[in-house]
Structure formats: structure tokens, C-alpha cells
Amino acid sequence: MSVEHELGDLSATELVAGFQRGDWTPVEAVDASLERIQRFNDAVNAYCHVDYEGAREAARASAARWKRGSPLSAVDGVPTSMKDLTEVRGMPAREGSLTTSTAACTRDAPPARAMREAGAVLLGKTTTPEFGCKGVTDSRVYGITRNPWDLSRTPGGSSGGAAAACALNMGVLHQGGDSGGSIRIPAAFCGVFGFKSTFGWVPQWPPSTMASLSHIGPLTRTVDDALLMLNVIGRFDPHDYFSVPGQPTDWGEQCRADGRLDGLRIAMCPTLGCAAPDRRILEHLGEAAERLEALGATVTRIEPEIESSLETYRVLWASASANQLSHIPAQHHGVMDPGLREIARFGEQFSAVDLLDAQTARTRLNGHLDRFFDSHDLMLTPSVAIPPFEAGHDVPPGSGMRDWMEWTPYSYPFNLTQQPAASLPCGFTDDGLPIGIQLAGARFDDARLLRACHAFLKAWPAAFPSAPQEASCGT
């Protein structure tokens, strides 16, 4: 096996250890990632822009720093991707839309700036649906992104390109964004780790249309790699109005224990009050509970006494979409995603009173879950109610569902409450499709959540595809 293929299989922590020992260089690591992109991207459509020359130039600069013994950080030289909603200097930000400019950005958004200043090598941009508008990844400008485990299925969204790239190690650290599950949904569908922190702990700019719902975070193969990334991007930034201080000095400090979870109180909530998950999802949720108990945690099946937050979220999301559409010239509306236009038109009917009522309901949900976490450390739920379905559709064909929010009842509640939440890979369906389970914590208790995630995936590491897989025979 070539050096490139060997390096292409490694995690960020393994790559950096090799840089330190002198076993390989950032140039070799970046070449390995670029080689995987060239081999796999035509099949999965994970990247919409790759900066080959810029990446190699940055890798050479990093190699020189490592040779001098003066790396900029623990991610210096690590191949990294940014979601296409994120501005990256020298790269376009089409945001999955035909209505945006093809010109290169002239500035870095906070995640890109922080990673660049830390010496990470920015490979390119990963695909997203138009303006991150839904829980799958396809757009009129870049086409359909596909699931590496079964190319006939969706990888989820809106960070579907990042999750697909992560599953195939087309780059090692991947930035996603999450306003309703857009990190956790594709993490679950692609069998990788996805984490959204407490709101405001990972800065972003410019703000999204519904800024108080939006979180930035990593998609990685391991929790250790996510911690490396969080130690760079998870820092207070006064230029982000919503950024708040208080982040851990070392996001992974609590993860360096013995891997036990003794004394941890976890509430298993199969329906989160009102969801109806697929039977296969429930089976793996039960298995996850048993694994957490084997690590020493106490898992209690209990449901929080909360009402469905679907309509609350839908009012906020639709209103934000209507606002977004209002700033795009009417002559361009015809080239936009039909689902985005539909939800925007739906949002136009809401009044200021409706919006304030939704905010009141959101506050009520926050209060219920704050009290729930007084007696529980973490909550265990499915990540998504169903396994991955056919690509190119916003909802499972024949389901009768109206939009993506109906099959993602476990994700957007934690955007409404701004709590930290993560999706962890937890096995496969009989036909080889990944299943994810979600752990959520109280606001600002990210360290405890990450400790549980770290212990879980250390004891039961995830498996990954060696190459994009053709369609399975099952359904």
C-alpha cells in the first residue's frame, strides 16, 4: 500500500503524532487527502470547491514549521474542510445557490480564520443545500450529494458534504453548521461523530438568517479529533455579537480519565415526548443504553413532560426563510430550491404576534428542559427518527411528510434550547445503513457531554467505508 493510502486512513491525532516523530510531513498528509478527493468525489459529490494549489502551498509552509520544531498548534498541517455556507478567503461561497456570486471571498469567517491561523490546511468547501435550507444535501448549482455507505441514499444535511467527506476521510477535520440538526443529521446518516456546542461558544460571522438557532461545530471520525478542532474554533470572538465567553481552556480535559462513566445520570428518552421512531432505531438506542451502563452510567427510561416543538420551530424557520427570500430579487426566485420557496411563502403569513408567540413557546421549552437537567446529567435519544432514505428527496418517498422537520424531531429542540448535543455512530441496519444516537447535555455542560461521547466511542469505535458503496438490496 502506498504512503498516500496509509496516511489517508489516519485520524488528525495520528497524523500530528507522525509529524512530531518525523515519520511523515504535512505535504504527504495533504497529498493523501487530495488523492482521496480525486478518487471519491465524483461518486459522492462531497466537495464543491477544492483548492489544490493553495492546500499544497499551506502544507509546505506547515512542513517547514514542523521541521523547525515550531508548529503553530496541535492542528498545524492537518487537512481540513469548510462548509460552503462559511466564508473562506480565496474561495467562493455559493451557499448552494444560483443566486450568489461566483467570486472568491475576501475574508475568512471565524472558523476558517481560526483554523488558518492555527496552521491547518484548508482543502476546500463541502456541499450544502441552498442556504442550508433542509435536512438533505442537494442543490441546483452543485447537484445531489450521496451517502458513502449507499450511493442511492442521502447523506442528510445540511452539512451533508462534510459528513460524506468525513466518512471517507477526504480530509480529516470538517466544519459543519447546525440550525436544526444540520451537523447531527448527516453525522447519523453517514456514521461519523458530529457535535454542536452550547450556543455562542463557537463563533460565526456573518450571522445566519435565524442567528439564535445556529451553531458551528466539527464532524470527525473520532472525538479526539473533534476536541483538537474545538480547541481552535471554540474561543470567544468579540466580532460575533452572539459569542459568549466561558469555553473550556482545554475542551478535552475531562476526557483524559479512565473511560468510566460512574455516577453519570442519563435519561433515555426514546420519543422525546412525542416522536415516533423507526423500530430499527429503537433497537440500537437500547443497545446504546446498555453500553453506557456497562461504562458505569445509570440509565433511566423517562420522557420529559414537554409538548411538540415542531410548530414553534416551523414558525421561526419559515419566518427566517421568508426574510431571506425578501432580500433576493424576484427575478431570481425561479432558480431557487422549490422547497425553500415554499417554506418562505408559508412564512410570509405569520405576523409579529405569531413570531413572539413562538418565542414564548421556545422560552417555555427551555424552562422545562432546564428543570429536567436538574436531575439528569445527559439525555439519550435517537439522532434521527429514520434510517437514510433515497437521495434527491426532501422526505422519504411515499411517506406523506410535508418537510424535513417531520423526520428530524430529535434535533431542532436542542437548537431552540441552545444546548450542546452530539450524534454518535451506533451500528447499522441489516442492509448496512448507519444509525446514530444522540447525547445532549445542559447548557454550558459541554465537557461532561464530550466525556461521555469519548468514553463511548473509545470502547466501541466506529467503522468506516473503504470506498463509496453501491446501492444495497434492502429497503
Question: Which residues carry out catalysis?
Answer: 83, 158, 182
Q: What share of the chain is helix, strand, coil (3-state, %, to 5)?
A: 40, 15, 45
- The 3-class SS string of 417-441 reads CCCCEEEEEEEECCCCCEEEEEEEE
Grid coordinates representing 390 are 433515497
SS3 assignment, position 262:
coil
DSSP H stretches of helix in 74-193: 110-117, 160-167, 184-190
Residue appearing with cell numbers 506547515: 62
- Closest residue by Cα to residue 89 from 107, 74, 73, 76: 107
- Closest residue by Cα to residue 33 from 172, 224, 175: 172
Surface-to-core class of residue 259, CB atoms within 10 Å of its CB (0-12 exposed, 13-18 middle, 19+ buried): middle
- Closest residue by Cα to residue 220 from 13, 451, 443: 13
121-126 vs 79-83, strand pairing mode = parallel
Sign for the pseudo-dihedral over CA of 138, 144, 146, 152: positive
Write the DSSP assignment of 71-103 as a string of letters. -SSTTTT-EEEEETTS--BTSB--TT-TTS--S
Residues 6+ apart with CB under 8 A from 443: 198, 199, 370, 417, 418, 419, 420
Assign residue 389 a region (left: φ > 0; alpha: ψ between -120 and 50; beta: otherwise).
beta
- Closest residue by Cα to residue 414 from 440, 437, 385: 440
Under 8 Å between Cβ of 117 and 75:
no
